[in-house]
Amino acid sequence: MDRAFQRTQILTNHLLRSSPPPSPLSSNACLSYSPPELSENHAFDVKEMRKLIDGHDVEERDWLFGLMRQSKLFNPRVRGGKVFVSPDYNHSMEQQREMTWKRIEYFLERGVFKGWLTEEGEEIEMRKFAGFEVSSVYDHSLFTKLGVHFFLWGGAIKFLGTKHHHEKWLRDSENYLIKGCFAMTELGHGSNVRGVETITTYDSNTGEFVINTPCESAQKYWIGGAANHATHTVLFSQLYVNGSNQGVHAFIVQIRDADGNICPNIRIADCGHKIGLNGVDNGRIWFDNVRVPRENLLNSVADVSPDGKYLSSIENPDQRFAAFMAPLTVGRVNIACTSVYQSKVALAIAIRYALTRRAFSLKPNEPEVLLLDYPSHQGRLIPLVAKTYAMSFAANYLKMLYVKRTPDSNKTIHIVSSSFKATFTWNNMQILQECREACGGQGLKTENRVGHLKGEYDVQSTFEGDNNILMQQVSKALFSEYMAAQKRNKAFKGLGLEHMNKPCPVIPSQLTSSTLRCSQFQMDALCLRERDLLNRLVADVSKCKSEGESTQQAFLMCYQLAEDLSRAFSDRAMFQTFIEAEANLPAGSLKDVLGTLRSLYALICLEDVSYVRYGYLSVENGASVRQEITEICSELRPHALALITSFGIPDAFLSPIAFNWIEANSWSSV
């Protein structure tokens, strides 16, 4: 009744143009920006933490960041008294592509790519990974255009070619006298590379291969670099020799001359505007009786003699096909590792904003509360920091696994890179979305980066392997390991499955705080899930097969279990790298904070729905996990600034809302 009377009085005053009664609320002073550094202390050495999570080439990274800050090509602009660099996404698609190419030329002139294709060894490979991670912090188009040229085109020649290919193509490619692309995907076939429809036939009369696009679904599609700049491509095609299809093989094909003119019998069209990545000139290619020399077959796996005999030391077609897919492994490694850096950028922006932006007073006449002082806001962002640290350690492990590769480790690299690529890119999209929302309306502004990064990086879920299919490969590999161990009657060895040889862990009926924070309990809980899901998958697939289904059909029918298993594998493998990183540290504040982060990461893994679905955790224990997560987030709140500062992203590569967002939006800045 009182409320109705109050509203009637307001309406009466309005109609009679009476002055309202004095407000009981006094006006507040205008908000002012206070840098979080003034109130947030670093309890550990952020430089040491950065070395730990970057893992390698810190000086090289800072040099490359500096190169970009120095040049107007990287679109520097002043906002809120600070200089920021990021692409101008208001440019047209054509302008964005031209700027991407100019930035590559700028890097080339300054020796950034020295040795990237012509030198061998762990040092140059790790330096190259660092270069890609830094370039991705600036722009996904720059990263992708470089990745296509060096990792896909260049990697295919290195891995699938032989000495005469290396001598002819690699140095000119490193110096960009040749601009390469990678023509594998077709309109009708993406993940199913074996099904590509492009046809190459050997003509023994001329010693040439003749390439044709037999139908519209065979056009090469999404080929990065093809629409504007590429002069050559590595083409994947069905090879016919003497009327017999020998499967998918790779060929070097020139598609443009030195002046940029499209070569005869080749047609190229643009893929058009995309939701992101518009600085990359994705194109479509058709081949009409295009002839290339016999020497253009990349022949480390198989060859064709001048008189038309098919030669290969790998007799098994499945193994031969797997060898041709080798260049894709490094692409997955690269994508997995760089996706972590977008999560770092987004979290650094969102948390810095949350340390200076206030909303609502809890009591009259008190200051409004910092966003990050709300438990709900901590619960949104701080677990994602823990997840990003876990991804960082796992990425460093993956890179070292790759650069130290041997023939015996190729299978492990394939499985781990497939798992991490899918998991990291999914995590990245989750983190970008949460950070966008955590920044409120400011997250919508392109200049603040977080929202725009979603469109730029969405593609990572499907290129270089669709994530769902990659995870199917992981679960199939685990199934095969189980069956092989059973057949040999030997212990599990490899892929981290050695825990299968030990007694099955048991989760206590009641979980205390000390238990939940115990690293052994955390590992046991993750291993228990992986172990049980693998046993369940084997049992269900075997049951389907006993009922007359093929192995392939049985897997399709057990897809839910397979998905859960692949995620369990990834969580456990990532956690293992976290444990190893922590174990190598001396006692002290850095190790203490990292241990708390590790516990937080483990507990958010335990919140996966599979823990309740399959009965590993009771409802009561699930509630205990949630309560402990909330407590740990509160404990890590004082370290939030130090944790994101340790990401090592220079201020210029963040955004205005990460700093003085009031001045950046003031009238004087218009």
pLDDT at 29: 65
**Residue 6 included in any domain:** no
Mean pLDDT confidence for 29-55? 92
The tokens describing 95, both together, are 């302008």
Chain-centre distance of CA 87, in angstroms?
A: 20
Binning pLDDT at 50, 70 and 90, where does residue 2 land? low
Final residue belonging to a domain, choices 289, 318, 347: 318
Binning pLDDT at 50, 70 and 90, where does residue 19 land? very low
Cβ-in-10-Å burial (0-12, 13-18, 19+) of 240 comes to: middle
Does pLDDT of 359 surpass 80? yes
If asked whether residues 539 and 420 sit together in one domain, one would say yes
* R_g of the chain, CA atoms, integer Å: 28
Cβ-in-10-Å burial (0-12, 13-18, 19+) of 263 comes to: middle
pLDDT digits (tens, 9 = 90+) for 301-332: 999 999 999 999 888 888 888 888 876 799 99
Mean pLDDT confidence for 167-181? 97
**Residue 143 included in any domain:** no
Pairing of strands 199-203, 232-241: parallel
Mean pLDDT confidence for 159-180? 97
If asked whether residues 418 and 294 sit together in one domain, one would say no
If asked whether residues 371 and 520 sit together in one domain, one would say yes
Binning pLDDT at 50, 70 and 90, where does residue 78 land? very high
Binning pLDDT at 50, 70 and 90, where does residue 408 land? confident
Closest C-alpha to 147, from 296, 328, 322: 328
CA separation for the pair 649, 345 (Å, rounded): 7
If asked whether residues 384 and 518 sit together in one domain, one would say yes
If asked whether residues 290 and 336 sit together in one domain, one would say no
From 26-40, 140-154, 440-454, the region with the lowest mean pLDDT:
26-40
Pairing of strands 358-359, 369-370: antiparallel
Residues with catalytic function:
464
The tokens describing 76, both together, are 């520097």
pLDDT at 284: 98
pLDDT at 31: 83
**Residue 139 included in any domain:** no
Instruction: Report CA-CA distances (Å) from 655 to 61, 81, 430, 538, 666.
Output: 19, 12, 20, 49, 16
**Residue 27 included in any domain:** no
CATH of residue 184: 2.40.110.10
CA separation for the pair 77, 653 (Å, rounded): 11
Mean pLDDT confidence for 53-82? 97
Binning pLDDT at 50, 70 and 90, where does residue 607 land? very high
Binning pLDDT at 50, 70 and 90, where does residue 4 land? low
CATH of residue 395: 1.20.140.10
If asked whether residues 383 and 521 sit together in one domain, one would say yes
DSSP string, 616-641: SS-HHHHHHHHHHHHHHHHHHGGGHH
pLDDT digits (tens, 9 = 90+) for 230-249: 999 999 999 999 999 999 99
Does pLDDT of 26 surpass 60? no
Contact 209, 251 (CB under 8 A): yes
What pTM value is reported for the model?
A: 0.93
Range of the domain at 644: 328-358+366-488+511-653
If asked whether residues 408 and 296 sit together in one domain, one would say no
**Residue 152 included in any domain:** no
Binning pLDDT at 50, 70 and 90, where does residue 20 land? very low
Binning pLDDT at 50, 70 and 90, where does residue 365 land? confident
**Residue 75 included in any domain:** no
pLDDT at 407: 85
Binning pLDDT at 50, 70 and 90, where does residue 463 land? confident
If asked whether residues 311 and 333 sit together in one domain, one would say no
If asked whether residues 343 and 314 sit together in one domain, one would say no
Tell me which residue has tokens 């407000």: 23
Mean pLDDT confidence for 402-424? 94
Q: What one-letter code names the amino acid at 121? A: G
CA separation for the pair 174, 248 (Å, rounded): 27
Does pLDDT of 611 surpass 70? yes
- Percentage of the chain surpassing pLDDT 90? 87
The tokens describing 479, both together, are 């199934």
**Residue 89 included in any domain:** no
pLDDT at 8: 53
Answer yes or no: is 185 a known binding residue.
Answer: yes
pLDDT at 668: 87
Does pLDDT of 603 surpass 90? yes
What SS3 state is found at 476?
helix
pLDDT at 28: 54
> Which H helix or E strand runs over 267?
strand 266-270
If asked whether residues 429 and 568 sit together in one domain, one would say yes
**Residue 14 included in any domain:** no
If asked whether residues 340 and 220 sit together in one domain, one would say no
If asked whether residues 548 and 411 sit together in one domain, one would say yes
pLDDT at 191: 87
Helix, strand, coil percent values for the chain (each to nearest 5): 60, 10, 30
Pairing of strands 208-212, 290-293: antiparallel
Does pLDDT of 424 surpass 90? yes
Structural domains of the chain, count: 2
Does pLDDT of 412 surpass 50? yes
Cβ-in-10-Å burial (0-12, 13-18, 19+) of 29 comes to: exposed
**Across the chain, what does the average pLDDT equal?**
93
pLDDT digits (tens, 9 = 90+) for 189-231: 998 999 999 999 999 999 999 999 999 999 999 999 999 999 9
Does pLDDT of 60 surpass 70? yes
